[in-house]
Structure 1
Amino acid sequence: MPAPKNTLRTSQKLGLSLGLRASLKILSMGQLELRQHVQSILEENPFVDEATGEVGADDFDSSGKSDFIEELAVSLPSLPDHLHRQFHDMNLSAAALKLAETFISYVDANGFTSIKHEEIIARSNLERNAYAELLHAIRDLEPTGLLAETSWQCLEWQAEKNFKHDPLLKDILSVLELAANNLARLSFQDKKNLAESLHVEFSDLQKSFANLYQLDPFPGRNYTLQSQNAIYPEVVYQENGDSIDIIVHNHLIPELHLNRELYEEYKGKGDKNWEDRYAEAENLIRSIQYRQDSLIKIARSLLVHQYDFFKTGTSAIKPLNLADIASEVKLHISTVSRIVSQKHCQCRWGVFPLKIFFPMRLKSNDGSNLGSEDLRQAILELVGQENSEKPYSDSELTTLLREKGFDVQRRTVAKYRNLLHIAAMADRKKTPKSK
């Protein structure tokens, strides 16, 4: 009689596997997806019911109570929406505001106007003094550079705002624009020649280039021209005086309870289908509660680790990895990964995916932490000092960076080189001049 035992053991393993798989899937779901999943089970499984007095399917469909749920939704603004809101908060004159609407109609995917400002003004039939007022407002937009005519003008505005102490940076931009140079293809010798033409020390030029590479030539690329689907932030960080409160929303998820009475009627009939259905109902309720408890733990830990972000903004995000949070909240790292997946939080700075709190963290050879900005600066220095006839490959850069104390892989170096608009070795290589 060994065969039945093996069959039973296989069946138990399969049941465990299916239940575990369902639980893991629930951890990864966003709130709206989880609600839809719960509704489908409510329709098919007789052993799980929706507790009375909670938001349920009928509430979701009714015109009165669905408004409550819609209030939880946050639409990620399109680029035109983002511009509209900023201009309307600037207390502009009626003429300037009308001209602003016209400018917005010409914005492209990079955040620039698709035609020259002069042409927009000519088409608007508005007085020119409205443009003077509007231009001042345009240069106050966030991020700086939106509605510029070109990427060069965008960079110039950003340089004036962020690096007022660096007049050389503006000169560099002017020369490069006139020469129509591609920043990614500038070699070491090109920079040497540029330093000579500007009559400055090469070391000073390198410092200005380090500032230049921090500017964003395409400020509109983080937005879309069309509004995106609404999202439902589950975690809200709400400032309360000097402290920050954490609110975890689960309003979209109905409160559930097991129908034990019905199960008692069926459990003695030996029908495996009913046993599986009841196990599914138990697993659903248990998994949702575990998801909620884990999300609260992670939200609290993120507040501690990224407190400066909540006070000052995205520039204050610190290097952090999933293992740090997992160790602190006593969860497996895969659980933390699933919890932060497809979840958003809302704070004074806007709505963000929870994954934003886990930027790449670099390790030095001695085990201490290094920020991504340290790596950027190191790459800039190495490329700036290379021989233009024999530029470094990504593998060579990796070796040199490791000698400087960075514990990095070649693919990481390639990624950051691209982010800095530095061309690959073949494109940086200059042919030696014949004698």
Structure 2
Amino acid sequence: MRSQPSLELGQHQQLALTPQLRQALRLLQCSTQELEQEIAQALADNPLLEREDVAPDAASASAEMLDRHWSQPSRQAVTDDIPESPASQSLADHLLQQLHTTRASDRDQGLVTILIGELDQQGYLDFDPQTYAASLPELDIQDEEWSAALRLLQSFDPAGVGARDVAECLRLQLRARADEWPSGVLDCALRLTGLLEDLGAGRWGRLCEALGCDRVQLEAAHQALLSLDPHPLGLWQDEATYYVVPDILFYRTGDGWQVSLNPALEPRLRVAPDLAEQLETASTPALREQMTQARQLIQQLGQRRQTILRVAEFMTVHQRAFLDQGASALRPLALRDVAQALELHESTISRATRLKYAQTPWGVIELKQFFGNSVQTASGEDTSSRAIQAIMRTLLDAEAADQPLSDMRLTKLLADQGIVIARRTVAKYREVMGVPPASLRKHRRSAN
């Protein structure tokens, strides 16, 4: 039986974005430093573009605003993970360079790029693939595809990037340095990452029984964990020094809280007037293309400003209690809440809050810090998980060096303040905050 060649029509779905939409999304996701690099490249490539001059009156007014609002002392830091010394190359660029050296398909590269965009400052992944996939049913993204994309991301340098929690971060580092320990110690250490609460409580007998190893091997596994870093990106980001300058300014007026974009960081471009006049009389296809690109970039920068400002304005209403009282008053907030209120996609809100910093009465914080899950207190009121973490941070900062607070003790102290949550939830929040168990904290302090 001979096979005959034939033509068949079929349909398949893939991640496909127009170059204009891809650029708009990239600009929205850029930090201030990354955006400045994009603009510098655009100015070098397109002679029709130039920066707008700031009027002297506007410049002096901007300086007065900055002096008035930036000079206010921070009464309380909302988070300790604001970067002070990032590498000259951003983490996203570092990871994308590695991605482009792989043989992954265009679709897989698209999924990994999405995951890279969802990494927080510490390189942890706070991302629900199912939610993203459900919002884009036309792409038909399968769970297996997300898993493959995550495995690829977690294989990149620095070891630990893409972890969902501290335990997974430690496991990734252990596997990356597997040749440093005997196989038995490595296996024990890998399984020990799932029992950090027992390790923190010093339950050596229970651990030996659960892991099936003797005390000597357990001690060696413990030492292996102590050699790791729950914040591995802190070492990778220690090449240069700069201070975070806020993109957004929250300030109080007689009408309540107001918000504005930092005028010192707002890139303003225009088409060069003299060149635009020349194009009216003498135009070539190449110049017309550059004119189109210039206008598209100006429009995309305007859309970026508008989106970030709309998100910030939403925060002045929803998180007013935080602006008045501090981190412990943060209200529960999810990306979908902002997306629904502003009639935007959740991924757009995520990009608009990535590496965008705001000056508040309580310090400079990343916009993502305004988000947190809902937790019900003993009085029946809902509070934010980030608010609970802020309270935990205050308790941990005040703990005695030789008697660090265990998860059980933290649970009791929170209950005394009307926040009744399980000990495993406290342990989870502690891991999200990047705080090692009590035994590890005590060991490191005694070693120093």
Calculate the TM-score normalised by the size of structure 1.
0.43
Calculate the TM-score normalised by the size of structure 2.
0.42
Instruction: Specify the structure having the higher radius of gyration (Cα).
Output: 1
